[in-house]
Amino acid sequence: GTKPPSTTGSFIHRLIVVGAGPAGLSLALQLAEAGLPVSLVEASTSFSRQFRGDGLMPSGLEALAQMGLWTLLQELPQRPLESWSIWLEGRELFQAEEPMGALQPCRLVSQAALLEAMLQRAVALPNLRWYPGQAVRDLLHSGDRISGVTLANGQTLAGSLVVGADGRQSLVRQRAGLHLQTSSPEIDVLWFRMPAPPRLLLHNCFLTLVAGGHIASAFVAPNGELQLGWVQQHPGEPLAPGESWVEAFAALAPAWLAEHLRAQAPALQGPIRLGVQVGLAPRWHRPGLLLLGDAAHPMSPIRAQGINMALRDSCVAARELISLWRANTAAGAHAAPGAAALDRTLERIQALRQPEIRAMQRLQRAEARQGHLIASQPLLRHALASMAFAAGPLACWSWIRRQQPLRLGLSGSLPSAVLR
C-alpha cells in the first residue's frame, strides 16, 4: 500500500471523502487536481478484496476519459471483451460481437490495479491527505450541519463537506440518518475461479449459461483466470461440496468447456458468496454531507453497473463542486463557499445523477426478469435451443437493443468536460 504523506497541523481539511473505492478515490483525485484541499479516509489498508467488479462498460470508460485518466487506464493490465455468448441447454443461441455500436468494447480491468494507480497519482498532490486503515467512527456536527468526521483512532477532521463513498453498508449514511430503500431480487451470486481454457484465452468471450433452471456465467478475468458465477435463487442455502460444483457448471456448459472444467476440477477455488443488495436512498444529502456510489444506490451485478455508475457519479460531483469552489475564489484561494450555496449544489448533484441510476436499476430488473423467465420455463428453453438456427438472429438483435443503455448509460448524464 501507499504510505500517507506527512501531515501538518495547518492543513485545511476542507473536503473530506470517506471511502477509497471507485467513487471516492476518483472524486478525491479530481478535486485535488483542481487545487482543492482534500482528505481521503479509507478503513482498509489494501485494495485486495475477495471480489471487486472488473467490468468497465463504455459508460465507465467515458467517465474515466472525462476525468483525464485515459492514459492511466491504458497502462493497466486488461482484457477487452470480444463477444458475448448465450447458451441454452448446452446449445449456443447466439453470439454478439463487441463493441456493439459503441466506440470502445467493454474491458475487464483489475479494479484493485485501477484504484492503486489512481491513488499513486493522488498522493503525489500536495493538497491531498491520505488516511489508510482509518475507519470513520462518527460524524461531527455544528448545529444542523455535518462538519467533519471522527476517526477510529480518535482523531477528528473538520471540513466544509463530508462525502460518504463508503459502500453499500455505508456507516456515513447510517450516522447521517439517511435511509436506503431496498429492492433486493433475493439472490446470491457465488463466484469460483480456476485456470482458464485456451479457447477463452485466445478469444475473450463472456458466456451466459442457462440450463435445467439454473443460470451461470464464465469469462476470463484480467489476471488470466477463469471466473465462474452461479446465480443462487435462494440466498443462504447450504453450499454443495467442491466436486459437485464442477459437475453443476459442466451440466450447463458447452462440451469443450465442460471437458476443461472436469480436467481442472482439483484447481477449482471458491465459492465466494456475493449477497446482492439493490437499493436507492431517496435523499443523498443533508447539510454538509453527500452520498455517492453504492452508499447512495447499491446496484445489481448485472452488466457491472456498480463501478460504472460510481465513476459517473464522481465525474458529475467533481464538476459541480469544482465550479462552486472556483466561483468563490474572490474570497480566498481555498475559501469555502457559503452553506446555502453548498447545499444547493449537493441537491443539484443528486438531481443530475438520480435519473440515470433509476433508469439503470429499472433496466437491470428487466434483464433479471428476462433471465428468470427463460431459466424457469423448460419448454421455452428447449424450444429456443432447438430452433437456435432460426431464433438466434432475432434473439441476438433483441438482446443487443436491451444492452445498449446498460452499456452506454443515459444520454446526457455526463458533463461534456470536467473543469481543471
Regarding whether 299 and 258 lie in a shared domain, the answer is: no
Regarding whether 318 and 195 lie in a shared domain, the answer is: no
pLDDT range class, residue 185, cuts 50, 70, 90? low
* Last-in-domain residue among 275, 299, 314: 275
pLDDT range class, residue 7, cuts 50, 70, 90? very low
- Identify the CATH number of the domain in which residue 268 sits: 3.30.70
Q: Check residue 2 and give its pLDDT.
A: 45
Do the domain assignments include residue 126? Answer: yes
Regarding whether 156 and 22 lie in a shared domain, the answer is: yes
Contact indicator for 338, 327 with CB cutoff of 8 Å: no
Do the domain assignments include residue 65? Answer: yes
**Which amino acid appears at position 186 of this protein?**
E
* Last-in-domain residue among 339, 356, 373: 373
* 3 state DSSP class of 145: strand
Regarding whether 285 and 271 lie in a shared domain, the answer is: no
Residue 141: domain span: 15-77+109-183+278-373
Do the domain assignments include residue 86? Answer: no
* Last-in-domain residue among 275, 309, 343: 275
Regarding whether 162 and 37 lie in a shared domain, the answer is: yes
Query: How many structural domains is the chain composed of?
Result: 2
Contact indicator for 158, 13 with CB cutoff of 8 Å: yes
Regarding whether 130 and 115 lie in a shared domain, the answer is: yes
Regarding whether 283 and 169 lie in a shared domain, the answer is: yes
Nearest partner of 62 among 410, 361, 299, 408, judged by Cα = 408
Regarding whether 156 and 63 lie in a shared domain, the answer is: yes
State residue 66 phi and psi, 5-degree precision.
Answer: -60, -30
Regarding whether 165 and 62 lie in a shared domain, the answer is: yes
Regarding whether 120 and 265 lie in a shared domain, the answer is: no
Do the domain assignments include residue 311? Answer: yes
Q: Please provide the average confidence, as pLDDT, over all residues in the chain.
A: 91
Regarding whether 267 and 124 lie in a shared domain, the answer is: no
- Identify the CATH number of the domain in which residue 163 sits: 3.50.50.60
pLDDT tens across 372-390, in order? Answer: 899 999 999 999 999 999 9
Do the domain assignments include residue 204? Answer: yes
Asked, as a colleague might, if the bond just before 99 is cis with ω within 30 of 0, I would say yes
Q: Distance (Å, rounded) from C-alpha 151 to C-alpha 154?
A: 5
Neighbouring C-beta atoms of residue 135, cutoff 10 Å = 16
pLDDT tens across 262-297, in order? Answer: 999 999 999 998 888 899 999 999 999 999 999 999
Regarding whether 284 and 264 lie in a shared domain, the answer is: no
Q: Check residue 328 and give its pLDDT.
A: 83
Q: Is the model's pLDDT at 115 over the cut of 80?
A: yes
Q: Distance (Å, rounded) from C-alpha 226 to C-alpha 245?
A: 14
pTM above 0.95, yes or no: no
Give strand ranges (E) for 253-398.
Answer: 269-275, 279-280, 285-286, 289-291
